[in-house]
Amino acid sequence: MNGREFTTRVRRLARSRGIAVRFDRTRDKGSHGTLYYGDRFTMVKDRRKSLKAGTLRSMCKKLGIDPNDL
């Protein structure tokens, strides 16, 4: 899964749970961005490159979601 797929899946999950989501490209440098999931947030690395398993787990943990829900 790459960063773009992660963002899309989080948006879909949030829509089903009624949680607000937004992606802010301006907060970080280069291809990084901040994904807000309710009152939580995580940094999303290059959205075109594949995410490593540990990075994916860490991002999900910061958002308070189970990686298996994606």
pLDDT of 21-60, one tens digit each?
Answer: 999 887 666 778 899 999 999 999 877 889 999 999 999 9
22, 36 contact by CB (below 8 A) = yes
Residue-range domain boundaries for the chain: 3-65
Around 3, how many Cα atoms within 13 Å sit in the side-chain half-sphere? 15
Distance CA 30, CA 14 (A): 26
Q: Which CATH class is domain 3-65?
A: alpha beta
**Model pLDDT, residue 27:** 66
Distance CA 63, CA 42 (A): 7
Strands 21-24 and 40-44: unpaired
45, 51 contact by CB (below 8 A) = yes
